[in-house]
């Protein structure tokens, strides 16, 4: 390992996403052969004690209290952005302009305008071999990657229906505390951008089709929530007294939209999407079903190691086949455990690092590019526009 | 049994629905104690040979080749309408005016205007003790009746989300033949009225809430289909050669809509509905999920004897509880088999007869009334209106 | 229908099984074309009032209070035996000797010796065109019949493993009342003969292999139970006060055994069986799994319309395929409802009547014959022998 | 971290188990607060190049080509044994006598005699604060740990039934190559010790009951297999030509046994166990179901993040509750991701390290001790003895 070329990483932010990314940087080279060896060089955060403790815990060699300093350092090759969406554009553009590769958490930005600027910066940088990727990590779930493979192999035929749900319930309790995720100025949107964006990206990526128009409804069930002292973090697991001071929820709690898809031979495909944090009992039900003329696929992240596939050619004895996606032939799986030994949530981040480092090492643009993420951002904007306009159909 | 009062039934139509209704009339008194003993007095159909054979097979005592003759007969107490939707209004109104009770298949009619006239006739007749019911038979599935019981008991709290899908796949094959169900002049609409109507009725009935507005999209994937000689029947299982003459499909193949619900303490509930016959691999997936502030329910007709229930009070060890709805305490179940011995599709029709005959015997209005069915019809109309108007929000 | 030949049935017993059989006799000709039209001619029971009420409710034309009288009647062609096992031999042999066809509930008898005498009587009668069948009704579940078809088609290859469970829980409550099913003198055995016999028959029938040896353990968890006034019936749903007089449970509560199978190319197949009424939460989990060299099958009666099939040829994308056994090509199903509309428990009895009447009409021996049921009885005896002898291996 | 006390680990073996253990040593301190910081100090293996490459890949600081040298080193505090069972006793006893803590993979040994000597050494060492643990890692699956919690909380009442299956299929192909796991001199036994041992440990641990007697059957379906050049490794995924030289399979392919359990108030509990690598389609189905008088539990490692629980107190609306074991209150889970984000196979090893290091740090005996593992070894021996003696009942 000592002679291999390295990829020195600087990460901004160290909460939920930071822990997941750190694990991925540490773990990817232990199970996969990478062209570059990642180094956990530095982590940045505004709170000096917090970032120091995080660095120790997560395995980073040094700390910074200003992300700008991270970008200035000569010993950093890649900036990994794990902060709320309102900071993405500034950090990513600065990093790219400084010649650092960028991995940016999703959604790419809080507006189409920001995303467009980021995409422009990314495309400019790419000409100089400086690459960027947006962290739609669910693409790296083996079962979803297998789903995409099936579509590409033509096993579904022409696609007609897509139904995507992302159901959580951590806001069901009206007294769960306010968090930055419910503050539009930080998060950009609520369920729509936080989890709905994953569904949009997965639906488009798996099918190879783009959403061309939507009709949408957004709903906010609980308009005020108790303020906790610390608004950073995931929230959702605390419960404050009902007389605590309250802050305004300025994002959607739930988003529902119908969609049409363009592209290839499945131009007539239609979809229905739902994202919510109020589906009591559904914890992380990121579900995708695709119905074609020859076959169908169904996936639920709550059973993340399973892909269900229906092959009409087996009729009349056809049925959804529950593929346990743990065979060595399946995407990513051969580098892990023997057949039948399932993976967990964080493996998606490890695979993301594998794909990113491999692309960089080979001088190729990684996927999803910022341009791919911009397309998702445009769908998000169209959803908000339709919802604000009596659900009227809105082109993307 | 000889001394019990009887209820003499005349049925119009003898295809799929006719067979199901006949079984119900024969079977209900064998398992339930009814105040009136149903007699299968006469069945009507235009084809003399066909109706004669059907009468023999299904157990009817006599036949008519004109439904008007059935209504004229003195020895008929109830008219059971199993014909396509375009005939419902004329038959039902004539029957009610002749003092016959009416059981009418769903959807109630092919237009709101027809449904309004039927409802008026029904309300007039009811004043004279002549009753009518619309055949939303899924209400009689024990698991859905248990779902309604749970909502009424407050076990869900305030309702926030309703998601209803009715997924079939019998039109996935673009060469499956044309049937009357695809001809708007007979069926009124496609998936929307045929199966979506069941979802609308079930969602409203289980939650006790009414849909107050919708935004919708309708899609027709296959606009021409080969003509078979006989357009009556269920269709879907044949496959004609690709050079057969083709007829125009004039109804929707798929319907998607979002909805808001009114009523009680759950005025803010939102819903998403999808009905299609192109969801390859889904055979009769009539699904309903309801999320409240205290609990959630999930149902899929493909596992019709199961109701899943999530009780948040059991947190952190909560989980969807798979209730096998075969206990004697469950709706309808005590009259059948011991615990654990599931029921089938046709039991819903038998229970429908039980409820109808019991209501008539007790001089009470059966449910769903024509007025209840009219509300469903208004939702169907709003869906079509929104879909025709760029998905713009449409009040019901 | 009036000119068709009839099959006049006399039924002995009218409890749980009597109700199921009556429904089957009434319903079979309504959905299937039979060579003989069943007539519900007479039902026999010792209690005059009880049998009279049952006849009215279940649809029988006349009653007898002595089964011998039923056999004497000229207007009876077939005796349907729905009484406890200790009465089977006497009734069946008398009926066969009187030239009546016989349908006898399972298990065939309470001992091998009785079963041998019955089989001898059956084989003698068959030479004169008088036929008999034992009521292993689970064979008529479409999903299990499809399983057998798959084995016969070679889709499983050589069979290696069979695992059969029949799990119920209606005796979990130690205060559930004593019933005739817990009295060895009436029932012959407990879980073993009541439900384990179904598993044995299904395992042998589906695989085409016979059990050649067993090692077994029997257990009785609750050795005394409160006596209810009426010991006839299914029991299990009542709960008597703890100071009620108690009767001795003289049968097994649970039976576990391993087995070897003989026959054909799968001579090395091994099996494990478990039958119990104390598996809390399992209501009627009659499960069968078969693993071969090419494929596997899994079935659970709690999802009776589903057969799961694993086809190794689809590797690495193989997975258990959930076949919804509701296609017209599936056994029995084409005569019922459209695809996706599931059947219930009682359909097995209706199909049993269909197969029995068809065999009789065509002058063929119906299956399972008394000889087939005798083989099951021998397995039951071997299980009891092994259990009584420190689980030592016992040949069948 | 720099000032924390360390625990310097030397690992013997670096195949499948070595990779899993290495990941655990690296990862545990990143997510859990440990009293001692593990150091991956050295790994030992006979092949110098192989062990050097493994050290680089897996993150070990140094290598040895003789495990004895590892024990001699002063800078090693703990020996982690990941080699086949025939080597366990010698290594473990030497390590303990040298004052090193020991983590030993399961099964503890290849014979009761070896296991007894190891247990004696462990108990002697423990008096000096030198501790040992056997690697039954499935105990660290959150869902199984929650199952044990439920039993301890009395939520199951008195236990009556235990059914444990461990079903794999990687030997279904008769041409899959010979491996050391099929050589009795190395592995001790086949499915019985490799996977059945996990079931035995889990069943005893979750219920708190010990197996007191068994009746067993062992079967070897394929008695010769093609020899690959390298017999070390997992095997099972290759397929050699049918004319390759063949080696004798000297272990069981499948093991079936019934059992009685002793202990506490559930002395009458009975169990049935099955372990096989020929259950086509079952990849790693390590299943455990426990039925008590108040509740039941069911688990399947193929859905490792789920525990199903049936609470009879909820009757008549009871049902198996599918608990998604991802809440912060669940065992181990709070240190990972938000609710709904499942864990994978290797997390069990990480938790094992956490528990081991915590026990050592606190000067407490870790569990399972060698004595606990010896009890499992005695069950394995009783199973083999019964199987060799016509399945006759064998006390443990």
* pLDDT tens, position by position, B240-272: 455 678 899 999 999 999 999 986 556 689 999
Name the residue facing D270 among C219, C292, C310 (closest C-beta): C219
Provide the percentage of residues in chain C whose pLDDT is more than 90: 89
What is the pLDDT averaged over residues D272-298? 98
For the stretch A332-375, pLDDT in tens is 999 999 999 999 999 999 999 999 999 999 999 999 999 999 99
User: In what helix (H) or strand (E) does residue C132 lie, and over which residues does it extend?
Assistant: strand C132-135
Inside any domain, residue A174:
yes
Residues of C in contact with D215 (CB under 8 A): 215, 217, 258, 390-391
Distance from CA of C280 to the nearest CA of B (A): 12
- One domain, residues B190 and B329: yes
Q: What is the CATH number of the domain that holds A258?
A: 3.30.360.10
> Cα separation of C383 and C378, whole Å?
9
Is residue B212 included in any domain, yes or no? yes
Q: Rounded to whole angstroms, how far apart are CA atoms B329 and D314? A: 13
Domain residue limits at D186 = 141-343
CB A164 within 8 A of CB A198: no
Residue C240's pLDDT is what? 44
Residue A368, domain member (yes or no): no
The answer to whether C350 and C26 are in contact (CB under 8 A) is no
Contact map slice: C 77-96 vs A, CB within 8 A:
none
Cβ partners under 8 Å of residue A82, min gap 6: A11, A12, A13, A14, A15, A17, A18, A21, A105
Q: Are the beta carbons of A246 and A224 closer than 8 angstroms? A: yes
Are residues D125 and D270 both part of a single domain? no
Same domain, C117 and C162: no
C-alpha to C-alpha distance for A150 and A140, rounded to whole angstroms: 15
Query: Which of C328, C343, C358 corresponds to the end of one domain?
Result: C343
Task: Note whether C240 and C99 are same-domain residues.
Answer: no
With an 8 Å Cβ cutoff, is A3 touching chain D? no
Q: What is the pLDDT of residue B4?
A: 66
> A304 touching C, CB under 8 A?
no
The verdict on residue B378 lying in a domain is: no
The confidence score (pLDDT) of residue C245 equals 86
* Residue in B27, B30, B168 nearest the CB of C340: B168
Name A203's Cβ contacts closer than 8 Å, sequence gap at least 6: A162, A164, A211, A271, A273, A288, A290
Q: What is the rounded average pLDDT for all residues in chain A?
A: 94
Q: What is the DSSP string of D181-213?
A: GG-HHHHSSSHIIIIIHHHHHHHHHHHT-EEEE
Tell me the per-residue pLDDT of B338-359, one tens digit each, with 9 for 90 and over. 999 999 999 999 999 999 999 9
C215-243: average pLDDT: 68
Work out the average pLDDT over B60-85. Answer: 97
Say if C393 is an interface residue toward chain B (CB within 8 Å): no
- Of the three residues D89, D105, D135, the one that is the final residue of a domain is D135
Chain B residues with CB-CB distance to D338 below 8 A = none
Q: Are residues B86 and B215 in the same domain?
A: no
pLDDT, averaged across chain D: 94
Q: Residue C394's beta-bridge partner residues?
A: C214
Q: Do C27 and B27 touch (CB under 8 A)?
A: yes
Which chain D residue has its CA at the smallest distance from B326's CA?
Answer: D316
Segment C278-305 mean pLDDT? 98
DSSP code, position C68: H
The nearest alpha carbon in chain B to C20 belongs to: B337
Cross-chain Cβ contact C23/B27 below 8 Å: yes
pLDDT at D268: 87
In a domain, D113, yes or no: yes
CB-CB: which of B319, B329, B330 is closest to D321? B319
Which stretch of B305-314, C229-238, D169-178 has the lowest confidence by average pLDDT?
A: C229-238
Do A154 and A125 share a domain, yes or no? no
Q: Note the pLDDT tens digit of each residue in D301-337.
A: 999 999 999 999 999 999 999 999 999 999 999 999 9
Given this model, what pLDDT does residue A228 score? 73
At D50 the pLDDT is 96
- Optimal mutation site among D151, D161, D196, D387, interface C, most CBs of chain C within 10 A: D161
Which member of C31, C237, C345 has the closest CB to residue B342?
A: C345
A29 upstream amide cis, omega within 30 of 0: no
Total-model pTM = 0.95
C320 touches chain D (CB under 8 A): yes
Say which CATH number the domain at D19 has.
Answer: 3.40.50.720
Q: Do C278 and D160 touch (CB under 8 A)?
A: yes
In chain D, what residues touch B146 (CB-CB under 8 Å)?
317
Q: Tens digit of pLDDT for each residue in B384-395? A: 999 999 999 999
Task: Judge contact between D111 and D379, C-beta under 8 A.
Answer: no
Q: Which residues of C touch D279 (CB under 8 A)?
A: 161, 289, 291, 296
Cβ-based neighbour number of residue B108 at 10 Å? 37
Q: What is the pLDDT of residue D4?
A: 66
B301 and B206 within one domain: yes
pLDDT tens digits, one per residue of A170-229: 999 999 999 888 999 988 899 999 999 999 999 999 999 999 999 999 999 999 999 975
C234 touches chain A (CB under 8 A): no
d(CA A280, CA B265): 18
Domain count, chain B: 2
Q: Are residues B99 and B195 in the same domain?
A: no
When pLDDT is cut at 50, 70 and 90, the band that residue A99 belongs to is very high
> Which of these ranges, B22-26, C175-179, D2-6, has the smallest mean pLDDT?
D2-6
The whole-number pLDDT of residue C232 equals: 36
- Percentage, residues of chain B above pLDDT 70: 94
Contact A57 D234 (CB under 8 A): no
pLDDT by residue (tens digit) across A43-57?
999 999 999 999 999
Whether C178 maps to a domain, the answer reads yes
Cβ-based contacts of A314 with chain C (< 8 Å): 321
Q: Alpha carbon of A24 to those of A138, A375, B291: distances in Å?
A: 14, 26, 35
Q: Are residues A100 and A182 in the same domain?
A: no
Domain membership of residue D393 (yes or no) is: no
Over the stretch C347-363, which tens digit does the pLDDT of each residue have? 999 999 999 999 999 99
**Residue B384 resides in a domain:** no
Q: How confident is the model at residue C239 (pLDDT cuts 50, 70, 90)?
A: very low
Contacts of B320 in chain D (CB under 8 A): 321-322
D317 part of contact set with chain B, CB < 8 Å: yes
| Average pLDDT of the residues of chain C | 94
Distance CA C352, CA C28 (A): 9
Strands (E), B186-229: 210-219, 224-226
Half-sphere exposure for B278 (CA within 13 Å, toward CB): 32
Contact at 8 Å (CB) between B289 and B310? no
Same domain? For C176 and C285 the reply is yes
Which residues of chain B are within 8 Å of residue D333 when distances are taken between CB atoms?
Answer: none
Inter-chain touch D172–C312, beta carbons under 8 Å: yes
Q: What's the pLDDT band for B238 if we cut at 50, 70, 90?
A: very low
Give the pLDDT confidence score for residue C261 in this predicted structure: 96
Over the stretch B104-161, which tens digit does the pLDDT of each residue have? 999 999 999 999 999 999 999 999 999 999 999 999 999 999 999 999 999 999 999 9
**Measured between CA atoms, how close is D36 to chain C, in angstroms?**
43
In angstroms, the separation between the Cα of residue D394 and the nearest Cα of chain A is 33
Q: Are residues C188 and C331 in the same domain?
A: yes
Which among A308, A309, A330 is the nearest to C316, CB-wise?
Answer: A330
Last residue in a domain, options A135, A151, A180:
A135
pLDDT greater than 80 at residue B67: yes
Q: Are B297 and B255 in contact (CB under 8 A)?
A: no
Chains near D (3 or more Cβ pairs under 8 Å) = A, B, C
pLDDT at C4: 67
Residues C30 and C114 placed together within one structural domain of the fold = yes
Looking from the CA of B207 toward its CB, the CA atoms found within 13 Å total 38
Compute the average pLDDT of residues B165-173.
Answer: 96
Q: Does residue C173 have a pLDDT over 80? A: yes
How far apart are the two ends of chain B, measured CA to CA in Å?
A: 47
pLDDT per residue over D208-257, tens digit each? 999 999 999 999 999 999 997 543 333 333 444 556 788 999 999 999 99
Question: Residue D314: its chain B contacts at CB < 8 A?
Answer: 321
Among chain C residues, CA nearest to A328:
C316
């Amino acid at each position: 390992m000592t002679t291999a070329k390295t990829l020195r990483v600087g990460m901004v932010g160290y909460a939920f996403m930071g822990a997941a990314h750190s694990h991925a940087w540490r773990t990817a080279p232990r199970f996969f052969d990478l062209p570059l060896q990642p180094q956990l060089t530095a982590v940045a955060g505004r709170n000096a004690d917090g970032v120091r403790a995080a660095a120790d815990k997560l395995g980073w060699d040094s700390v910074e209290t200003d992300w700008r300093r991270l970008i200035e350092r000569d010993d950093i090759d890649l900036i990994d952005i794990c902060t709320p969406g309102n900071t993405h554009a500034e950090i990513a553009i600065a990093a790219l302009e400084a010649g650092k590769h960028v991995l940016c958490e999703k959604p790419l930005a809080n507006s189409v305008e920001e995303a467009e600027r980021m995409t422009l910066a990314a495309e400019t940088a790419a000409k100089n071999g400086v690459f960027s990727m947006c962290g739609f990590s669910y693409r790296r779930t083996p079962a979803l990657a297998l789903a995409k493979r099936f579509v590409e192999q033509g096993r579904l035929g022409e696609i007609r229906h897509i139904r995507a749900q992302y159901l959580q319930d951590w806001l069901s309790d009206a007294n769960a505390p306010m968090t930055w995720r419910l503050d539009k100025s930080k998060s950009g949107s609520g369920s729509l951008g936080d989890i709905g964006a994953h569904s949009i990206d997965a639906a488009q990526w798996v099918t190879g089709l783009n959403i061309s128009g939507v009709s949408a409804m957004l709903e906010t069930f609980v308009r005020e929530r108790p303020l906790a002292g610390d608004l950073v973090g995931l929230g959702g697991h605390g419960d404050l007294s009902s007389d605590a001071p309250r802050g305004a929820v300025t994002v959607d709690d739930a988003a529902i939209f119908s969609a049409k898809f363009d592209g290839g031979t499945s131009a007539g495909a239609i979809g229905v999407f739902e994202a919510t944090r109020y589906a009591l009992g559904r914890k992380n039900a990121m579900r995708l079903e695709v119905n074609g003329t020859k076959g169908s696929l169904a996936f639920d992240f709550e059973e993340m190691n399973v892909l269900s596939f229906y092959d009409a050619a087996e009729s009349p004895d056809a049925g959804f086949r529950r593929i346990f996606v743990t065979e060595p032939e399946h995407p990513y799986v051969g580098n892990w455990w023997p057949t039948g030994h399932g993976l967990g949530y964080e493996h998606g981040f490890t695979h993301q690092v594998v794909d990113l480092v491999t692309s960089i090492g080979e001088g190729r643009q990684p996927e999803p590019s910022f341009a791919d993420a911009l397309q998702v951002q445009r769908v998000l904007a169209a959803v908000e526009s339709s919802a604000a306009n009596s659900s009227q159909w809105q082109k993307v």
